[in-house]
């Protein structure tokens, strides 16, 4: 069981698309650790936290059963395993969709057309639940990998598999006909009483939230003549109000604001036209409201 020595145990994907990004996120959140050559247990040197590197499929059940206190895994795997866990935070990576696909030459056009047919998948629970909801009864063919090959091997009429870029489906001559589920990596926590470790889990969640919030924003700094500040302030969609800072040059003021990354493209020309100069756009490390 987790936490015997008071350390928060966090399960992290050891392989697959989420592995590297998960470790990078934990580092960005301020945890310090060194990966051993083969060790699955990775202690953090600056916090009472231990990482346990395991298969992402196993993580929801480990968290549910109290084998670990918390974990990073795919939202679809929580649904697939039916695990009773607390989803604390969407992490913004590992995005994928569970999609139905058929051979390009097939006449099937939508999920509704799968009624009475054979569907190969490695995700039977979420597939059945989505097909049930669509009023579709299909015969599920369970495979643990290379699902995309099933129609060509004569094992099924269609597949239901995770799609990220779509290149696996395209490379195997499959045409996508419908989305059953959307997923991304999430931080999950145990529903059990974590005692003193609960505070450490709250801290981990806050730190991760801060990194994710910062990733979507940029910090803007600019100088402007004092009489242009009101107009510039109105343009800035800041968190709260922008800061206005005095400069040594008395006629000039500096404005600072954190803005959404996707707004920068439209915003910079407007700021410039409204009198801003020396505009700096900087990365933020954390945003903790």
The contact set with ligand AMP (CB under 6 A) reads 16-17, 74, 94, 96, 161-168
Shortest spacing between CB 39 and ligand AMP, in angstroms: 24
Shortest spacing between CB 280 and ligand AMP, in angstroms: 35
Specify the residue, 100 or 163, whose C-beta has the smaller distance to ligand AMP. 163
Q: Rounded CA gap, 130 and 153, in Å?
A: 25
Residue 98: which residues within 8 A CB-CB, separation 6 or more? Answer: 76, 123, 126, 127, 130, 160, 161, 162, 163, 179, 180, 181, 182, 183
Helices (H), the chain: 19-28, 59-65, 75-81, 124-133, 167-171, 197-215, 229-235, 264-273
Q: Identify the DSSP state of 184.
A: -
Specify the residue, 149 or 213, whose C-beta has the smaller distance to ligand AMP. 149
Residue 182 β-bridge partners: 97
Shortest spacing between CB 77 and ligand AMP, in angstroms: 8
Residue 264: which residues within 8 A CB-CB, separation 6 or more? Answer: 218, 220, 281
Shortest spacing between CB 156 and ligand AMP, in angstroms: 15
Specify the residue, 53 or 236, whose C-beta has the smaller distance to ligand AMP. 53
Shortest spacing between CB 100 and ligand AMP, in angstroms: 13
Shortest spacing between CB 148 and ligand AMP, in angstroms: 7
Q: Rounded CA gap, 104 and 254, in Å?
A: 58
Q: Rounded CA gap, 222 and 269, in Å?
A: 13
Specify the residue, 181 or 276, whose C-beta has the smaller distance to ligand AMP. 181
Specify the residue, 98 or 229, whose C-beta has the smaller distance to ligand AMP. 98
The C-alpha angle 102, 103, 108, rounded to 5 degrees, equals 50
Specify the residue, 3 or 94, whose C-beta has the smaller distance to ligand AMP. 94
């Amino acid at each position: 069981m987790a936490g015997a020595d008071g350390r928060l145990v966090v399960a992290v994907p050891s392989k697959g698309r989420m592995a590297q990004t998960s470790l990078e996120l934990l580092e960005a959140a301020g945890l310090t650790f060194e990966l051993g050559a083969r060790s699955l247990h990775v202690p953090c040197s600056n916090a009472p936290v231990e990482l346990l590197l395991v298969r992402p499929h196993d993580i929801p059940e480990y968290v549910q059963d109290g084998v670990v206190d918390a974990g990073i895994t795919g939202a679809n795997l929580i649904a697939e395993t039916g695990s009773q866990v607390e989803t604390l935070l969407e992490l913004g990576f590992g995005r994928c969709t569970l999609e139905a696909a058929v051979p390009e030459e097939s006449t099937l056009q939508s999920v509704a057309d799968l009624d009475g047919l054979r569907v190969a998948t490695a995700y039977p629970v979420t597939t059945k639940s989505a097909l049930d909801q669509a009023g579709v009864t299909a015969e599920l063919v369970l495979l643990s990998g290379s699902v995309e090959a099933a129609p060509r091997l004569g094992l099924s009429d269609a597949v239901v598999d995770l799609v990220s870029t779509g290149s696996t489906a395209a490379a195997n001559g499959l045409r996508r006909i419908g989305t059953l589920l959307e997923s991304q990596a999430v931080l999950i926590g145990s529903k059990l009483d974590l005692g003193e470790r609960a505070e450490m889990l709250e801290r981990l969640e806050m730190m991760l939230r801060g990194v994710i919030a910062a990733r979507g924003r940029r910090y803007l700094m600019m100088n402007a003549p004092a009489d242009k500040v009101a107009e510039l302030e109105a343009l800035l969609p800041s968190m709260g109000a922008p800061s206005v800072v005095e400069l040594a040059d008395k006629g000039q003021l500096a404005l600072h604001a954190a803005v959404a990354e996707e707004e920068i493209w439209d915003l910079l020309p407007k700021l410039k036209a409204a009198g801003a100069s020396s505009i700096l756009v900087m990365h933020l490390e954390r945003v903790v409201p």
